[in-house]
């Protein structure tokens, strides 16, 4: 069987997660990892300068983009779909319709197919929210995130004067989750759903009370939450907070237009957010390859993918063993 030829663009945590997944899926072959950085040592030794990427136009079936949503992906994905079928993890919810429109237009012109907003949220959680809503129309949705490291919140703390390093954990409130599971459909405020735990290394002599105040009162990031701040030293940071675990829960509770209640829950616990996200992007690369082979072009999302295409197994095998 012809292997699916994969390229990776970007070599941060997510790029490394995709590299690991692609290298371990026997129906795929990693062609190269395209990066701006010079002399980067990749696990598979396949780094290639991003300046050469157009030379690989006919050597790659699907390019998986591993840049950030703020500045990289809105431009990179649209540029890359001119030459490649693409997968990205664009997660700025408010700008998804605009990103979709740009990708769809360019992909239809180039004859390539791209999927945007893949990962676990958006991605797997979107699939769960959508299916749960369709199967139980008369109900209410809840999403809880964590316990896990939020990179955005950690970065926000690091920008505070006097902070050397920081790690922020988003923690769901267990009693709120239990209330939802019981089927009572509670009204929950932002503060009632999650708490935020911060581990901070401060510069010697820094005013810790002032740092704490700046964190807990930071608008958008922390002001609407109960936030605890722990000051630790760099050694403890490296020993206890060096991983990127995450997870979360999508719950839907409702009735079937009768007195009968039902609760549907997707619950995921991840030791490594980037490794699992990389694995999700890789499975969707397989689906995009197959849809492209069938002549599809433009842009799609997880809602448009027949889920059987995610599997390396044939439709016959899936029906016989997984249905």
Residue ranges binding its own copies (CB under 8 A): 17, 20-21, 23-25, 93, 96-97, 100, 117, 122, 124, 126-127, 129-131, 133-138, 181, 183, 255-272, 275-276, 278-280, 283, 286, 301-308, 310-312, 315-316, 318-320, 322-323
User: How many other CB atoms are found less than 10 A from the CB of residue 86?
Assistant: 30
CB of 41 to its own copies, least distance (A): 17
Q: Report the Cα 129 to chain-centroid distance in Å.
A: 15
DSSP symbols for 78-100: HHHTTTSEEE-----GGGHHHHH
- Of the two residues 206 and 310, which places its CB atom closer to its own copies in the complex? 310
Burial string for 75-84 (b: 16+ CB within 10 Å, else e) reads: ebbbebbebb
What distances in angstroms separate CA 296 from CA 101, 139, 148, 284, 291, one per listed residue? 16, 34, 37, 15, 6
- Of the two residues 92 and 228, which places its CB atom closer to its own copies in the complex? 92
CB of 117 to its own copies, least distance (A): 5
- Of the two residues 11 and 276, which places its CB atom closer to its own copies in the complex? 276
- Of the two residues 79 and 275, which places its CB atom closer to its own copies in the complex? 275
DSSP symbols for 42-80: -TTS-EEEGGGGGGGTTT-SEEEE-S-TTTHHHHHHHHH
- Of the two residues 63 and 283, which places its CB atom closer to its own copies in the complex? 283
CB of 230 to its own copies, least distance (A): 25
- Of the two residues 236 and 303, which places its CB atom closer to its own copies in the complex? 303
Nearest CA-CA partner of 150 in 128, 172, 178, 180? 172
CB of 65 to its own copies, least distance (A): 17
- Of the two residues 216 and 270, which places its CB atom closer to its own copies in the complex? 270
CB of 23 to its own copies, least distance (A): 8
Structure tokens belonging to residue 14:
């997510």
d(CA 67, CA 262): 39
- 308: Cβ contacts below 8 Å, ≥ 6 apart: 315, 318
Nearest CA-CA partner of 277 in 106, 136, 69, 102? 69
CB of 143 to its own copies, least distance (A): 11
CB of 314 to its own copies, least distance (A): 11
């Amino acid at each position: 069987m012809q292997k699916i030829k994969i390229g990776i663009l970007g070599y941060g945590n997510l790029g490394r997660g995709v590299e690991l997944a692609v290298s371990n899926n026997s129906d795929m072959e990693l062609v190269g990892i395209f990066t701006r950085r010079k002399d980067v040592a990749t696990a598979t030794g396949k780094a290639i300068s991003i300046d050469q990427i157009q030379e690989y136009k006919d050597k790659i079936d699907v390019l998986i983009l591993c840049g950030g949503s703020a500045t990289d992906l809105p431009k990179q994905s649209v540029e890359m779909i001119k030459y490649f079928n693409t997968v990205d993890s664009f997660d700025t919810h408010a700008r998804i319709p605009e990103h979709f429109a740009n990708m769809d237009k360019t992909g239809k012109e180039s004859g390539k197919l791209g999927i945007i907003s893949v990962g676990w949220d958006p991605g797997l959680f979107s699939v769960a929210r959508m299916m749960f809503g369709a199967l139980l129309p008369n109900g209410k949705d809840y999403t809880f995130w964590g316990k896990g490291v939020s990179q955005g919140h950690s970065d926000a703390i690091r920008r505070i004067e006097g902070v050397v390093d920081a790690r922020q954990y988003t923690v769901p409130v267990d009693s709120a989750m239990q209330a939802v599971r019981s089927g009572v459909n509670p009204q929950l405020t932002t503060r009632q759903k999650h708490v935020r735990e911060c581990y901070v290394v401060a510069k010697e002599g820094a005013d810790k009370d002032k740092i704490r105040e700046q964190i807990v009162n930071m608008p958008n990031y922390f002001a609407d939450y109960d936030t605890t701040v722990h000051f630790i030293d760099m050694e403890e940071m490296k020993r206890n907070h060096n991983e990127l675990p995450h997870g979360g829960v999508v719950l839907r509770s409702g009735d079937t237009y009768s007195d009968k209640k039902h609760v549907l829950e997707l619950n995921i616990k991840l030791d490594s957010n980037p490794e699992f996200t990389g694995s999700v992007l890789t499975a969707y690369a397989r689906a995009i390859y197959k849809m492209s082979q069938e002549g599809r072009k433009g842009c799609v999302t997880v809602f448009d993918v027949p889920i059987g295409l995610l599997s390396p197994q044939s439709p016959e095998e899936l029906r016989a063993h997984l249905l």
